[in-house]
Amino acid sequence: MTASTSPRLPGTGLPTEVTSFVGRRQERADLRQLLGRFRQVTLVGAGGVGKTRLALRTAADVRGEFPDGVWFVELAQLRDPDLLTHQLAATLGCSPPAEQTILTMLLGHLRDKRLLLVFDNCEHLADACADLVDSLLRACRRLCVLATSRESLRVESECTYLVTPFSVPEGPGLEGRSESAGDAVALFLDRARAVCSGIDLTRKNREAIVDICRLVDGIPLAIELAAVRLRALSPAEVLRLLREGSEVLAHDGRRMPERRRTLRGCIDWSFDLCTRQEQHLWARLSVFSGGFELDAVKGICQGSGLPEPVLDLILSLVDKSILMPEAGSGKARFRLLEMLRQYGYEKLRDSGEDAPVRRAHRDWFLDLSVRAAGGMLGTNRRQWLRRLRRDHANLQRAMAYSAEAHDHAHGLTMARSLHYYWVADGRFDEGRTWLARFLRADDGTVLDRLRGVHAAGWLATLQGDAVASAAILHQGAQLAAGSEDASAAALITQLDGLHALYTGQSVATEHLELALERFRVVGDVNRQLETLAMLTVAAALGPAPTAAGRYHGACGAMAELRHVPALRMYTAWPYALATWRTGDSNAALSSAREALTFAASRSDQLSLALCMETIAWIEASRGRHVTTAVLLGAADRLWSRMGTSTAALPGLFRFRRECESECRRSLGDSSFDAAWTRGAELTLTEACSSGMDERDAAAPPGVATWITEAGPLSEAGLTRREREVVALLALGRTNREIATELVIAPRTAESHVHQVLSKLGFHSRAKVAVWLTDQLGRPSEAPAGGQQAGGARSEQPKGRLEISRCIG
């Protein structure tokens, strides 16, 4: 069975299965036993035999045995073995500090964790996978690995498990329904019903269906490809066409195992059912990696002889189950299943068109990168970010082509055009890797190389790698000295100012002011905006924070001049910091929250982290320490993903350190850590909501541990869970908020609330806070009914803040 799974963000574990899982009961039992005995198990077998689906289901079966999680690392789209550790780090949602290699960070991160890594499709990266797995298993004694590959990884600790095709009934005359026909027939019927409802195993079609499964040797992918043809054909017609395809395959001439030839015959058959134009398009689409959109298809098909537009051909390939639509992007997006992509690329290579089509693919995504660079500081920033994220695998493939073709100048242009993308998404390591690779070749004009050095310097500086940024700055200064272009001097001056700002040098403002003036001379508005933002940061951290207002005002004036009011938000978070430092915490909080809303609308990871940090510092000064700890946890999760932190900028780190110390003194280490952990587990949407909420955050789930067993709630006969519900009711939480904070279903929360009110004798949830306030103020008997409980009011209620302190 093929891996029919939905996409997921890094760190969410296993992808969701979107088609039913059929059979493999014995294999699953075998693998559960093997994972209990061996630390690495590799599923090997022919392509399309169902290794991925079996690995996913097995991982789900044993998930409870790995308290630190099960993590799925998909390698089908990865082409560069040097990026294997990057892929694993991205999956785990972590990045290394500047002074560590990614492998060193991974070993430290995983050393004491009890978790399962599932590496999928290792065959094209077998050597790199073997080296990485061997290093991980030797250093991390509680780590286990489940891998899928067409061949063994040949690691010392490896146990290989051969995944064989489904068994198929041997002869004709099969009686009964699908349940007695074996897994192969059951899979065929399951997939056929998705395109032809009501189909079943009958006397009329039984022999043809069994023969189809037998002819493809029970290989799940081949069965699925055949089954979907029932959309237009009968089982007998499918069998006839499949048999004709196998006869053609006999003349292939390639020496390969029979099962592999049979599977190839199934794909050959799908290819032969396409028109010549569809075949031509299929081959050209194989250059894409990880999906594509219609504009990109048009870009690589110009001059190919295909009709315009190609949408009809695209839809035809979707109907024939060659292309798979991808949901969730908001635009029509498609992908080739990996085996069909590889098949198409063979056809492309055999035709001699692979080089020009890959070059067309590179050129189109180079143009996309350049256009994105121009739009990332405008009102369409979020749309550009989303597009670049969707096409991340294609961007990698395009840059890989430039490296393979020794076309380093175009590769450098592409890598430095993605500068804003690398920064906004926190992809510092990846951006630095590509830029370093192309800069080593010493190709391109001086200005192009200087722009590449400038981008690399930004990434190194933001990551806190002062040594590397100093070396890059020196390289840039040498290049600028050999250029007469005014832009070159402006770029290196700005980079000098950024480096000075992040290393705490007093000359930062001087250099940035000079850069701003030079960018004005050359008319580079985007660079002026970026420099104004850095000047605002420098002023906010300096001895005279009121100076930040001047730069913030200049940014606003530029926004008005360009008729894009939102552009003034680029200086909003440092202006909020400066305002807070002058003592106006209310105005500072308003500005910081406005900046947070703006950053969220642009989906800018770096800006989000900075805004959350700033709001946390302001909230700490207002005594809202639980909210502060939650926001710090959310920010730290973002910093970790990006491989940097506020420590990269000592001026910011000072505020972070003071803020955390104050919160720990107020809350205590255990309560602070609990709130921090809660923040680190929030989604971005939830974290932003916490930053905008005027209420102090509630105690994290498990709050009943701070309400004594012998207290008034226990005396009232409330269970542990009901005591948790009372505490949250007292803080004014709704049923839905209670469900979220206690990780229970809304209906369950509603039931608990009803039970609590019944036991306490109340008809109104509002009375719970009043009564609990009174009980925390003085010992009292449990209420016997609504009148008694409701009348037990304190003359001087302590209020919800006191309740919050009592429960955590």
Instruction: Give me the mean pLDDT over the 177-188 stretch.
Output: 66
Q: What is the pLDDT of residue 329?
A: 62
- Whether the per-residue pLDDT at 8 is higher than 50: the answer is no
- Whether the per-residue pLDDT at 791 is higher than 90: the answer is no
- Strand, coil or helix: 158: strand
Q: Which residues contact 408 (CB under 8 A, 6 or more apart)?
A: 402, 438, 441, 443, 444
Q: What is the pLDDT of residue 96?
A: 66
374-404 tens-digit pLDDT: 888 777 778 888 899 999 999 999 999 999 9
Q: How confident is the model at residue 606 (pLDDT cuts 50, 70, 90)?
A: confident
Least confident span in 603-617, 631-645, 663-677, 757-771:
757-771
Q: Tell me if 402 sits within 8 A of 411, measured CB to CB.
A: yes
What distance in Å separates the CA atoms of residue 581 and residue 544, rounded to the nearest whole number?
Answer: 9
Give the CA distances from residue 622 to residues 393, 657, 678, in Å, rounded to whole numbers and listed in that order. 45, 17, 21
Average pLDDT, the chain: 80
Q: How confident is the model at residue 418 (pLDDT cuts 50, 70, 90)?
A: very high
Relative to beta strand 292-293, strand 333-336 is: antiparallel
Q: How confident is the model at residue 702 (pLDDT cuts 50, 70, 90)?
A: very low
Give the predicted TM-score (pTM) of the model.
0.65
Higher pLDDT, 309 or 517: 517
- Whether the per-residue pLDDT at 431 is higher than 70: the answer is yes
Looking up tokens 């580079």 gives 524
Q: What is the pLDDT of residue 782?
A: 36
- Whether the per-residue pLDDT at 210 is higher than 70: the answer is yes
Q: What is the pLDDT of residue 772?
A: 65
Q: How confident is the model at residue 347 (pLDDT cuts 50, 70, 90)?
A: very high
Least confident span in 723-732, 734-743, 794-803:
794-803
- Whether the per-residue pLDDT at 688 is higher than 90: the answer is no
Q: What is the pLDDT of residue 672?
A: 87
Q: What is the pLDDT of residue 40?
A: 92
> Using CB atoms within 10 A of its CB, is residue 241 exposed (0-12), middle (13-18) or buried (19+)?
middle
Q: How confident is the model at residue 787 (pLDDT cuts 50, 70, 90)?
A: very low
- Strand, coil or helix: 154: coil
- Whether the per-residue pLDDT at 433 is higher than 80: the answer is yes
DSSP per-residue codes, 466-534: HHHHHHHHHHHHHHHHT---HHHHHHHHHHHHHHHHHTT-TTHHHHHHHHHHHHHHHT-HHHHHHHHHH
Give the chain's length.
808
Q: Is the peptide bond before 97 cis (omega within 30 degrees of 0)?
A: no
Q: Was domain 703-807 assigned CATH 1.10.10.10?
A: yes
Looking up tokens 């899982």 gives 21
Element (H, E) at 84: helix 84-92
Higher pLDDT, 662 or 443: 662
Q: How confident is the model at residue 784 (pLDDT cuts 50, 70, 90)?
A: very low
- Whether the per-residue pLDDT at 705 is higher than 50: the answer is no
Percentage of residues of the chain with pLDDT beyond 70: 83
**Amino acid identity at 86:** H
CA 553 to chain centre: 36
- Strand, coil or helix: 289: coil
Percentage of residues of the chain with pLDDT beyond 90: 30
Q: What is the pLDDT of residue 724?
A: 77
**Regarding the domain with residue range 25-162, which homologous superfamily does it belong to in the CATH classification?**
P-loop containing nucleotide triphosphate hydrolases (3.40.50.300)
- Whether the per-residue pLDDT at 621 is higher than 60: the answer is yes
Q: What is the pLDDT of residue 592?
A: 92
Domain ranges of the chain: 25-162, 178-245, 274-352, 359-556, 587-692, 703-807
Instruction: Give me the mean pLDDT over the 438-461 stretch.
Output: 90
Least confident span in 530-534, 579-583, 607-611, 729-733:
729-733
- Whether the per-residue pLDDT at 411 is higher than 50: the answer is yes
Instruction: Spell out the CATH class of 359-556.
Output: mainly alpha
> Using CB atoms within 10 A of its CB, is residue 767 exposed (0-12), middle (13-18) or buried (19+)?
buried
Could you check whether 274-352 and 703-807 share the same CATH topology?
Answer: yes
296-315 tens-digit pLDDT: 998 898 877 777 778 888 98
Least confident span in 45-49, 186-190, 535-539, 656-660:
45-49
Q: Which fold has domain 274-352?
A: Arc Repressor Mutant, subunit A (1.10.10)
Higher pLDDT, 554 or 123: 554
Q: Which of 573, 613, 608 is CA-nearest to residue 684?
A: 608
**Amino acid identity at 390:** R
Q: Tell me if 418 sits within 8 A of 372, measured CB to CB.
A: yes
